[in-house]
Amino acid sequence: MAGTKTTFHEWSVGQVADRSGVTISALHFYEREGLISSWRNDGNQRRYGRDTLRRLAFIRASQLVGIPLATIKAALEDLPNQRTPREADWARLSSLWKKRLDLQIEQLIRLRDDLTTCIGCGCLSFKRCLLVNPGDQLATEGPGPRRLLPGTPRPDLDEAE
Amino acid sequence: MAGTKTTFHEWSVGQVADRSGVTISALHFYEREGLISSWRNDGNQRRYGRDTLRRLAFIRASQLVGIPLATIKAALEDLPNQRTPREADWARLSSLWKKRLDLQIEQLIRLRDDLTTCIGCGCLSFKRCLLVNPGDQLATEGPGPRRLLPGTPRPDLDEAE
DNA sequence: CTCACACCTCAACCTAGGTTGAGGTCAAGC
DNA sequence: GCTTGACCTCAACCTAGGTTGAGGTGTGAG
């Protein structure tokens, strides 16, 4: 097979895909978007270095936390450019996400409590309902896509239909 | 002004928009998607009934919980069709969402704890990291769009796991 | 030599949840 | 009778995060 020759810590796109669980098309996409990088071999095929797997792990973990790729990219750009990132570098990045998670959890809990109250009264009224007017914030946000939560709410965590 | 005449609990699209904070374009969109309904006056303008505000409140609240519109629509279709929905009907619907919220919160908390562990070890490795392989689940999901979470992982406020 | 497979590029497409704009109607007020 | 403002329809566009497919290259095995 082409390109299956394994040099010392240098991986083809297929190998990275297998090891990371990230599809090849997503790897191409991430590269286009500047989240990962590669060099080419003589046959113009991508070759990835050791830290690519780390980056991908970080990207996946960040997505789980709900961070958009653009933000993840910005965070990755803070990594040391010349030397290979150390554990401490990754740990520093991850701790950022923890703060976000704490915030998200806090918001969801507040939402749940509000929901409980609202179920109690059965109101769901725009004037009174805590759920619909969470955190004092009314529907006066100007034009543009309406974000229901400060943190980009998108459908999900969803299974049954 | 045209259409500003207020009949007994019958609202124009602009009035509903003002009262609900939902844009007119979104109201049109929801109607196209079958989440709300209206009738027309002599001038072909939409008129909305009393329960529309409730429906909108429910839609908004559901979106906060992270439910996709299609699911919200399905839930709304369970409402009594002939009589006007009562508080109890709304409360029943809302309680469904509470279960989802509980689940989401639980997952986020697990994620946060995993993250804490991972920051501790600084690993972020595909083989070891709890974050990247949440809940024993490895990257062996076959073809198709790769979902990082079993439940449609999309950026933001959700995505638990 | 030929096959099969891994890889390449580029463009088009997808879902969600809407927004934006063009072009037209209707009714009230001056 | 003209203007103004609210409303109508329909089609095109938007962001995110990719996927899919067409058409072509590279290469190792048999």
Q: Model confidence at A120, in pLDDT bands (50, 70, 90)?
A: low
Is the pLDDT confidence value at A29 over 70? yes
Best CA proximity match to A139, nearest among B53, B12, B158, B2: B53
Q: What is the pLDDT of residues B133-145, one digit of tens each?
A: 665 443 332 222 2
Q: In chain A, what residues touch B69 (CB-CB under 8 Å)?
A: 155
Any idea where the domains of chain B sit in the sequence? Answer: 10-98, 116-161
What integer best gives the mean pLDDT of chain A? 75
> Contact at 8 Å (CB) between A65 and A97?
yes
Contact A108, B112 (CB under 8 A): no
pLDDT tens per residue across span A107-119: 888 888 887 777 7
Give the CA radius of gyration of chain A.
21
- Non-local (6+) Cβ contacts of A136 within 8 A are none
**Separation in Å, CA A80 to CA A53, A75, B115:** 16, 11, 22
A10-98 placed in CATH 1.10.1200.10: no
Cβ contact (<8 Å) for B54 and A124?
yes
Q: Which residue is nearest to nucleotide D15 (CA to C1')?
A: A145
So what's the pLDDT on residue B31?
96
**pLDDT-derived band at A150, boundaries 50, 70, 90:** very low
Residue with smallest Cα–C1' gap to C20: B25
Q: What is the pLDDT of residues A75-95, one digit of tens each?
A: 999 888 778 788 888 888 888
Tokens encoding B55: 């429906």
Q: Scanning every residue of chain A, which has its alpha carbon at the shortest distance from the alpha carbon of B156?
A: A66
- Confidence band, pLDDT 50/70/90 cuts, at residue A70: very high
Mean pLDDT of B21-44: 95
- Return the HEC string of chain B: CCCCCCECCEECHHHHHHHHCCCHHHHHHHHHCCCCCCEECCCCCEEECCHHHHHHHHHHHHHHHCCCHHHHHHHHCCCCCCCCCCHHHHHHHHHHHHHHHHHHHHHHHHHHHHHHHHHHHCCCCCCCCCCCCHHHCCCCCCCCCCCCCCCCCCCCCCCCC
Cβ <8 Å between A158 and B152: yes
What average pLDDT does the segment B71-87 reach? 85
- Structure-model confidence comparison of residues B125 and A30, the more confident one: A30
Q: Are B115 and A94 in contact (CB under 8 A)?
A: yes
The residue-averaged pLDDT of B92-117 equals 86
If you average pLDDT over residues B9-13, what whole number do you get?
A: 91
The per-residue pLDDT for B8 is 62
Q: Six-digit token pair at B91?
A: 């409360």
d(CA A38, CA A46) in angstroms, rounded, equals: 6
More confident residue, A138 or B96: B96
**What mean pLDDT do residues A58-70 have?**
89
Structural contact between residues A134 and B63, judged by C-beta atoms closer than 8 angstroms: no
Which class for A90: exposed (0-12), middle (13-18), buried (19 or more C-beta within 10 A)?
buried
Distance between CA atoms of residues B43 and A42, nearest Å: 70
Q: What is the mean pLDDT of residues B74-97?
A: 84
Query: What is the rounded CA–CA span in Å between residue B55 and residue B7?
Result: 20
Distance separating alpha carbons of residues B95 and B81, to the nearest angstrom: 20
State the pLDDT at residue A89. Answer: 86
Residues of A in contact with B153 (CB under 8 A): 63-64, 156
Please tell me the distance in Å from B15's CA to the nearest CA on chain A. Answer: 13
Reported confidence tier of residue A153, pLDDT bands at 50, 70, 90: very low
> Taking the C-alpha atoms of B103, B107, B108 and B109 in order, what is their torsion angle to the nearest 10 degrees?
100
Q: Is the pLDDT of residue A35 over 70?
A: yes
| pLDDT classification of A9: cutoffs 50, 70, 90 | confident
**Cα–Cα distance measured from residue B6 to residue B12, given in angstroms and rounded to the nearest whole number:** 8
Say which amino acid occupies B51.
D
Comparing C-alpha atoms, which of B81, B72, B14 is closest to residue B48? B14
What integer pLDDT is reported at residue B64 of this predicted model?
83
